Structure 1
Amino acid sequence: MPKPASTIHIALDAPPGTGKEGEEARMSLSAVVRVGRHLFLGSDETASLERVTDLGGGRFGEHRTYPLSELLDLAGGEDGEVDIEGFAWDPPYLWVTGSHGRKRGKIKHDMADDEGARALAKIKVEKNRYLLARIPLEEDADGGGLVPRRSCADPRDPVRTITAARVKGRGTRSALLRALRRDEHVGPFMHLPGKDNGFDIEGLEVRDGRVYLGLRGPVLRGWAVVLELLPRDARREGRLRLAPVEEDGGRYRKHFLDLDGLGIRELAADGDDLLVLAGPTMGVRAPAAVFRWTDGLATERGRVVRGAELERIAELPHDVQGGADHPEGMCRFDVEGAEHCVLVMYDSAAPHRRDATGVLGDVFSLPRRGRLAGIAARFFAPSGDGETSEGA
């Protein structure tokens, strides 16, 4: 089992007056991003942002909860599960995505056979899961630091007001789902539940307003998919439209990654490279690893990414102690003595990672991209239409 360079303790202890159970957040972490002295965390079982602050000594605390319904007009109402799967910090906005996936019922241990079979046949569509949004953060001394806002002054231009906004449309009628419905690669998987290799977003990174979505599914004959979007303000305040990202007017761009048959669980920028946390698409015990996609944030066309452009650089703990520990959240997180690191958070954290108030995250040191690796990536980069799948 790989050993982390260090661990950090994150106190998620149900802030007073929120009515929130700390245990719920600790056991269902699915997204994390570092913004200054804060970590923002998300759960795939709630509809809120969790913020903790660096207390020193490898400890984060002062837990605060911000309901998304107070920041955005949620399509499914304030109580509907968002299934948060990714965060990204692109100043001055914190970006967040839901899974955009359908959910199949599951067989519970105490169900009779016929009851379990009926549960397995049920498929739910929850409107809040189809969320892709940006939320401004504002420094607030009374709020203990950076606080998410529905609207606030732009820190770069205080005369200008910036606002929270989401991609327009409701539920499966979101602009993203409408754009993808007839896509030759992912369109046929839109009606399948996420854990059945259906459409399921779990990775998010944003650079200068350009959004990269990593798909847990579908995985197409072993190839994982990254979607590239360009959301822009729509006419209606609080909404985003998908601007053309291709010369022919296409509103998304596709990249296909050879991740040894794994799906994408998270994305994180490392300069112009993209770090890709990969894991199984379906609910099986399988490896988890981090890949480096060389110049993934610098490409200007759809790609088939393989060979020297894509390197498997780290193995992660997974499915330990009876199936616990599912690596799902990852962000850059440098520490003293090991400056090129990522923080990894786990859904269904194993008992040794939990205590009465918090949960442990692992900090892994990653190899830097070497000069020879960069040269090889550029030398072996595919050229011409023959290396890119049709429609990419």
Structure 2
Amino acid sequence: MKKSTVKLQFNPELSINADGKHVRDGLSTILRTGDYLWVSCDERCSLERLKKIDENTFGEHHSFDLSQFLKLPAGTENEIDIEGIALEEHYLWLVGSHSLARRKPKKSQEPDEQIKRLAKLKTDQNRYLLARIPLNRNKETGEISLVKHVTHPYEPNFMLSAAQLAGNHAGTNQLLEALTNDIHVQDFLKIPGKDNGFDIEGLAIHGDRVFIGLRGPVLRGWAIILEVAVQDTDDSYFFELKPIGLKGELYIKHFLHLEGMGIRELDIAGDDLLILAGPSMDLDGTIALYRWPQALRQTGQSITHRNDLEQLFEVPNGTGPTSGQDKAEGITLFDKHHAIIVFDSPTDERKLNTDAVMADLFKIGVNSVKI
């Protein structure tokens, strides 16, 4: 199969976080808006913008500190763990993982200390974030940037403002509060994401419908997409969930049999949803792209069996000596016929010079083969 790639070139002055990790080593999501690619690293509080240089290269890296637009509970001291970004009209949307994390054992420590770390859970308040930020196009240069406030381009009396989902308690939000009594999800809210606990890793927006993909929990092979809708509040910095279910529920659930896999990313293609799926837990395993036909025509909660989903292709991932590497994490439509996928923990073969990395292009047409 012939391989086609896109080069992502980052600025070394903007690419290293406080722990010395390069942004290219933790890419978790991607979005294309015209000549720009937006990507995020799961261990930062920023969004990265790259501009098209030629047909196969994006560079001119610019980093946007999200604390300049949103009210991050922990400021920039803790990561947001951004796991999904999406576009709807004049807003860029983003979502954090909303998950607990279990401490990793460190081989340099004594065995007893390593075992103790496995019992410790941590909560990063910034992870509980669902937000939207206006996009503004410079009329002279055509440059697209994030802005905190901007006048609507077609309605001069209406202001677009950065805002996020409200919550009644610190370290949570209205979505998690609504799920605390959910018959399918409630028992997983206190389980770390890497243990098949509650873990958001996908976002797609269509009109006033917000689709949130869950990496976990996976229930007897069934993955979950939550669908919500939002409305403005009197406080321009926050929006809130509005009733969407038949009985006034603040969310509805869609169950999909992805053959035991959880959701890694979502994107919209016409009336369909593209679903990047992979293991819910921290292990190597099949990663594949699925098409959920006519997903946007669904009304109310739904359940879709495996034969009603189309597996487009499997995405190669690290195995053996490269175990834990080249984990496909983000997908976006590159053009009408192709999708671009970025990888967390890329292998050395995927890295170029000291600050670039290769993303892969896949054809998503009839044959759904990599080009």
TM-score by length of 1: 0.89
Q: How does 1:10-89 map to 2 (within 5 A)?
A: 10-15=8-13, 24-89=22-87
Change (3 A) 1:20 1:147: farther
Aligned residue among 96, 110, 113 for 1:112: 110
TM-align CA RMSD: 2.1
What is the CA distance between 1:307 and its match in structure 2? 4.3
Aligned counterparts of 1:106 and 1:19: Cα–Cα separation in 2: 19
Change (3 A) 1:137 1:15: farther
Question: Deviations along 1:74-108, whole A, 9 cap, x unmatched?
Answer: 12223221000000011100000000000000112
Task: Report the secondary structure of 1:297's partner residue.
Answer: helix
Task: Report the secondary structure of 1:13's partner residue.
Answer: coil
Amino acid at match of 1:257: L
Aligned counterparts of 2:141 and 2:128: Cα–Cα separation in 1: 29
Aligned counterparts of 1:99 and 1:161: Cα–Cα separation in 2: 29
Change (3 A) 1:121 1:21: closer
Change (3 A) 1:112 1:141: farther
Aligned counterparts of 1:33 and 1:21: Cα–Cα separation in 2: 26
Amino acid at match of 2:351: R
Ranges in structure 1 where 5+ consecutive residues have no aligned partner: 371-392
What is the CA distance between 1:12 and its match in structure 2? 1.4
Amino acid at match of 1:295: Q
Q: What is aligned with 1:201?
A: 200
Corresponding pairs, count: 364
Amino acid at match of 1:224: A
Q: What is aligned with 1:385?
A: none
Change (3 A) 1:281 1:171: farther
Aligned counterparts of 1:150 and 1:285: Cα–Cα separation in 2: 40
What is the CA distance between 1:21 and its match in structure 2? 8.8
What is the CA distance between 1:319 and its match in structure 2? 1.8
Q: What is aligned with 1:173?
A: 172
Q: What is aligned with 1:8?
A: 6
Q: What is aligned with 1:344?
A: 341
Q: What is aligned with 2:332?
A: 331
Task: Report the secondary structure of 1:185's partner residue.
Answer: coil
Change (3 A) 1:289 1:17: closer
Aligned counterparts of 1:21 and 1:141: Cα–Cα separation in 2: 38
Aligned counterparts of 1:266 and 1:189: Cα–Cα separation in 2: 20
Q: What is aligned with 1:213?
A: 212
Aligned residue among 332, 350, 353 for 1:353: 350
Task: Report the secondary structure of 1:287's partner residue.
Answer: coil
Q: What is aligned with 1:298?
A: 297
Aligned counterparts of 1:22 and 1:61: Cα–Cα separation in 2: 21
Q: What is aligned with 1:281?
A: 280
Matched, 1:322 2:315: no
What is the CA distance between 1:367 and its match in structure 2? 2.9
After TM superposition, where is structure 1 displaced by more than 6 Å over at least 4 residues in a row? 16-22, 141-144
Contact persistence 2:232–2:239 (CA under 8 A): yes
Aligned counterparts of 2:68 and 2:198: Cα–Cα separation in 1: 28
Residue range with higher mean Cα deviation, 150-159 or 85-94: 150-159
Contact persistence 1:129–1:171 (CA under 8 A): no
Residue range with higher mean Cα deviation, 56-65 or 155-164: 155-164
Ranges in structure 2 where 5+ consecutive residues have no aligned partner: none
Amino acid at match of 2:357: V
Q: What is aligned with 1:233?
A: 232
What is the CA distance between 1:294 and its match in structure 2? 0.7
Amino acid at match of 2:349: H
Amino acid at match of 1:113: P
Question: Deviations along 1:207-258, whole A, 9 cap, x unmatched?
Answer: 1131100000000011000000001112212101000111211000000000
Aligned counterparts of 1:256 and 1:181: Cα–Cα separation in 2: 19
Tell me the percent identity.
39
What is the CA distance between 1:187 and its match in structure 2? 0.8
Change (3 A) 1:16 1:300: closer
Question: Deviations along 1:29-69, whole A, 9 cap, x unmatched?
Answer: 00100011100101110000100000113000000000110
Change (3 A) 1:108 1:200: same
Aligned counterparts of 2:76 and 2:141: Cα–Cα separation in 1: 22
Q: What is aligned with 2:187?
A: 188
Aligned counterparts of 1:96 and 1:171: Cα–Cα separation in 2: 19
Aligned counterparts of 2:252 and 2:279: Cα–Cα separation in 1: 23
Aligned counterparts of 1:369 and 1:343: Cα–Cα separation in 2: 16
Aligned counterparts of 2:103 and 2:19: Cα–Cα separation in 1: 24
Task: Report the secondary structure of 2:74's partner residue.
Answer: coil
Aligned counterparts of 2:28 and 2:141: Cα–Cα separation in 1: 25
Residue range with higher mean Cα deviation, 306-315 or 101-110: 306-315
Aligned counterparts of 2:24 and 2:117: Cα–Cα separation in 1: 27
Contact persistence 2:73–2:171 (CA under 8 A): no
Contact persistence 2:339–2:361 (CA under 8 A): yes
Task: Report the secondary structure of 1:173's partner residue.
Answer: coil
Contact persistence 1:76–1:171 (CA under 8 A): no
TM-score by length of 2: 0.93
Contact persistence 1:264–1:279 (CA under 8 A): yes
Amino acid at match of 2:322: G
Change (3 A) 1:16 1:49: closer
Aligned counterparts of 2:350 and 2:248: Cα–Cα separation in 1: 48
Contact persistence 1:266–1:277 (CA under 8 A): yes
